[in-house]
Structure 1
Amino acid sequence: MALESLYKGQQLPLQRSVEAVAIPSGQPVTLEEDTVVQVTQALGTAVTVVLEYSMYLIEGHDLDALGLEPAPRPTLHENATDEELEAFVWEQLKTCYDPEIPVNIVELGLVYGCRIDTLISGEKMVNVRMTLTAPGCGMGDVIAQDAKRKIESAPQVQKVHIEIVFSPPWSRDMMSDEAKLELNMF
């Protein structure tokens, strides 16, 4: 079964125990084998599920727990340039979703910038400036941690700093036309 074949409301038994991320706390939890979960969103490389009124994010590399083909962990070749690394970071950010909105954070206009720094030690540090759709959004930490985990998969990256800012404040005007179309906001 492919990720695209999942639909909202579908109930699936877990085929093995799996590590998941509780939403909105961001805490890691183990969901036990044979537990039936309900799909709420299947976008990017992860699936959001509900179990007993609680929401969880299951990472793409663990999708076999849902009977799906696991998504390969993203990689980048060892000798990548800073430009290739930045392109990789942007591609990873495009796989991050607010569990409640079916548009990635880049298309939503939540990512204000990405910078690759080489530290004195020679290590690469990725700095991402992003915002949330509202200052009180409970998903901020979950989204930031999801982005951080995905960016850290590049072997060249030793440090990732995700800065959540509220200036300038987010507005619908920051969304791509594709995002506005997806959300019927034209």
Structure 2
Amino acid sequence: MLNEVVVLEQEATGVQIPGGNAITLPEGSRIYITQMLGNSITAATDIGLVRISRDEADRLGITPKEEEPSTLPPDASLEDRIWDTLKAIYDPEIPVDIVNLGLVYGVEVITHENGKSHIHILMTLTAPGCGMGPHLMAEAETRALALDGVETVDVEFVWDPPWNQEMMTEEAKMTLGLI
């Protein structure tokens, strides 16, 4: 379905990119799927780019590419598992995950007496005014909370240092044709 036009057979909900506003696409809308990565798809519509969740895409009969299974060993640390799960979150406009894009500045694991952990994720965005920030933040929190041993999560956005292309991994730069 990637790079194909799809005519919606039923109403669909999504998030406008980059504004971050919730929208409803009416039945019969034509969408052009531009990206199927992580837990969502990105589609071009008559009103611009829209991010559609995996659950909504499944409901519509549009199945995003399955996520790559983790290559971490079973005894990987919680911090390594957090970093790994964050690699499954993709920027809706750029086909690179938020870790390789350089948006995640740090992960702190604080283990409580009950053996459960609090996770503090420090991240940024490619631009301070990006309306997708709350959506990326919520996905990071949801994914981290789903891991065994995690009790609470907070995601903090920071703007210092400001993000720039030099923060991307070599892999990300190669994906984007920058090297």
TM-score bin, normalised by smaller chain: 0.7 to 0.9
Q: Confirm or deny: 8 A CA contact 1:60 1:71 kept in the other structure.
A: no
Structure 2: where are the runs of 5+ without partners?
A: 69-73
Secondary structure of residue in 2 paired with 1:47 = strand
Query: Is 1:145 aligned to residue 138 of structure 2?
Result: yes
Q: CA RMSD in A?
A: 3.3
- Residue equivalent to 2:71: none
Q: CA deviation at 1:161?
A: 0.9
Aligned residue type for 1:39: I
Aligned residue type for 1:43: L
Aligned residues: 176
Aligned residue type for 1:154: L
Q: CA deviation at 1:71?
A: 6.9
Cα deviations across residues 101-125 of structure 1 (Å, max 9, x unaligned)? 1111111111111112234666532
Structure 1: where are the runs of 5+ without partners?
A: 75-79
Task: Give 1:56's match in structure 2, choosing from 50, 57, 60.
Answer: 50
- Residue equivalent to 1:65: 59
Structure 1 pair 121/168, CA: closer, same or farther in 2 (3 Å)? same
Aligned residue type for 2:34: T
Cα deviations across residues 55-82 of structure 1 (Å, max 9, x unaligned)? 33222344323434467799xxxxx978
Percent of aligned pairs with the same amino acid: 38
Q: CA deviation at 1:38?
A: 2.4
Cα deviations across residues 30-88 of structure 1 (Å, max 9, x unaligned)? 556554322232222320124431433222344323434467799xxxxx9781x3233
Cα deviations across residues 121-172 of structure 1 (Å, max 9, x unaligned)? 6653221111122333333222222222222322533322111112222222
Secondary structure of residue in 2 paired with 1:178 = helix
Q: TM-score, normalised by structure 2?
A: 0.76
